Amino acid sequence: MIGEFSPGLILILGALLVPLLRGRLRAIYMLALPVAAFAHLTTLPHGDLGIIELSGVSLTTLRVDKLSLLFSYVFLVAALICVIYSLHLRDTVQHVAALIYAGSAMGAIFAGDLVTLFIYWEAIAIASVFLIWASRTEDSYRSGMRYLIIQVGSGVLLLAGVLIHYRQTGSLAFGALGLDTPGGLLIFLAFGIKSAFPVLHAWLPDAYPRGTPTGTVFLSAFTTKVAIYALARSFAGTDILIPIGTVMAAFPIFYAVIENDLRRVLAYSLNNQLGFMVVGIGLGTDLALNGAVAHAFADILFKGLLFMSMGAVLFRVGTIKGSELGGLYKSMPWTTGFCIVGAASISAFPLFSGFVTKSMIMTAAMEEGYFWIWIVLLFASAGVFHHAGIKIPYFAFFAHDSGKRCQEAPLNMLVAMAVAAALCIGIGSFPDFFYTLLPFETGYRPYTLDHVVAQVQLLFLSALAFTLLMRTGIYPPELRSVNIDAEWFYRRAGRSLADGARMAAENGWKSVTHGIGRTISVVIAYVQRHHGPEGLLARPWPAGTMALWTTLMLGACLILFYL
């Protein structure tokens, strides 16, 4: 049917007309694209749609169910908020790249087969890198190149896994897979790179903080959440995800605490929150999967809100280093308030979104008997409050007065932050409607007395610990520094490999040119020996000798003719 196409195509194709528009007309048009995509979404029935027959292979370009719909709702809301946040820009490249990026993410979650997923998977990588390069600095260019190599590498692994899987099973369906085949293992690894698994995660804190103030907000919403969706769709209940997610939730805390770049702090915090989602997917129960996808939904909003507040600070002040900020609540009171809402949401304060989503994952872990996993997640929750709930607003807007005075964020930025803050509070305060959007019916109730009291106690003790560490001088101060992460190893190894390849190429070229030179010299000497002035063929031959050779050649011709 004509209407059976992905809502993401509205954003992708619509982005191509953006360069033709200017001023207010461009702003209205960009705002209309997510609205039009949502209107189209409401007309789609559940099921496999948009089926294309290609060379005997059936591709399902549009699969509509509760899981894909949940992510599509939040992706469209995020796209609308991000467009509002970026309306002050006059950078056509950023606008076009951002809309194609968001549309590709939408296309990926509606993909019903692995080939369609791969196409959008690569489109996400290519479109998103322009949001990093748009900073137009040497650091952003280099970081963008590293980001692109890793993201395209993920796509190569995905394609290899798809081909192997198809050869072994004859199926391209984007559904439940396993790790018992090489194809499934490669696909799992491809998803793991985009999900920022441990050791594979360093692209995230390397690239996201180098994006533009608006581009980083887009980046925080889509790439990793598409990967979480893919894991939930294909590897729910895979046990190895539980320890992987637990490590993801715990180790970024230590980096975030010592990091001076506040957007880099948020990048590590994003990695931390992804860990909770991966644990939920690994547990695989209805409650755990509900918690994983619900937390992905909430994280897009509150993490986007935090990135927006820091982007506004960077836009107005020109720096995002904690050591250079402080006292900005006097100049940017609205931004300060919105940042606090985001901090409360990610810290899982009651009445905020994180409280009603993260708790499902932790409850599922306890119900399944993973006590020590639950302990680590509890520690990670306290750490989140330290580095995102307290550190971000404290060092950006309070702490010591840096003496910097600036204007409040532009109106469009404030409106975008207000919408995200309202959704964070609305989901946390009235979760019942939100729960109806989740894939499974669980009857979970977050506002029980024991849960509220336990969470308030955890937050109070975490705040007390932060205060004591600050008062005693033990808490790491905000200093100019470079923190080494896992990327150092593969960047160092990559540089060594590149240097080795360059030297090998140079030596090989020298050997080739030397060999060619020697061959040419031998040929010249041979020709010189036979055809030179003193050569054998240059000497005058007697007439009798010439007659003899002529007779022999004629004789040979006659023999060949008769044969």
Write the pLDDT tens digit of every residue in 283-301.
Answer: 999 999 999 999 999 999 9
Residue with tokens 């953006």: 18
Question: What mean pLDDT do residues 504-512 have?
Answer: 80
Within 8 A by CB and 6+ apart from 78, the residues are 102, 221, 222, 300, 301, 304
CA distance 331 to 404: 9
* pLDDT value of position 509: 80
pLDDT-based confidence at 54, cuts 50/70/90? Answer: confident
Do 305 and 345 contact (CB within 8 A), yes or no?
yes
Residue-level length of the chain:
563
pLDDT tens track for 349-397: 999 999 999 999 999 999 999 999 999 999 888 888 877 888 899 888 9
Question: What mean pLDDT do residues 257-279 have?
Answer: 91
Mean pLDDT check: name the lowest of 86-95, 105-114, 400-409.
400-409
* pLDDT value of position 472: 75
- The share of the chain scoring above pLDDT 70, in percent, equals 90
* pLDDT value of position 532: 60
pLDDT tens track for 193-241: 999 999 888 899 989 999 999 999 999 999 999 999 999 999 999 999 9
444: left (phi over 0), alpha (psi -120 to 50) or beta: beta
Query: SS3 sequence, 419-483?
Result: HHHHHHHHHHHCHHHHHHCCCCCCCCCCCCHHHHHHHHHHHHHHHHHHHHHHHHCCCCCCCCCCC
What's the whole-number average pLDDT of the chain? Answer: 88
- Quick check: 492 pLDDT over 70? no
The DSSP annotation for 34-89 comes to HHHHHHHHTTPPSEEEEEEEETTEEEEEEEESHHHHHHHHHHHHHHHHHHHHTTT-
- Quick check: 479 pLDDT over 60? no
pLDDT tens track for 300-357: 999 999 999 999 999 999 889 888 888 899 899 999 999 999 999 999 899 999 999 9
- Quick check: 536 pLDDT over 60? no
pTM value is 0.86
* pLDDT value of position 491: 64
Q: Could you tell me the CA-to-CA distances from 60 to 64, 121, 331 in Å, in that order?
A: 11, 15, 52
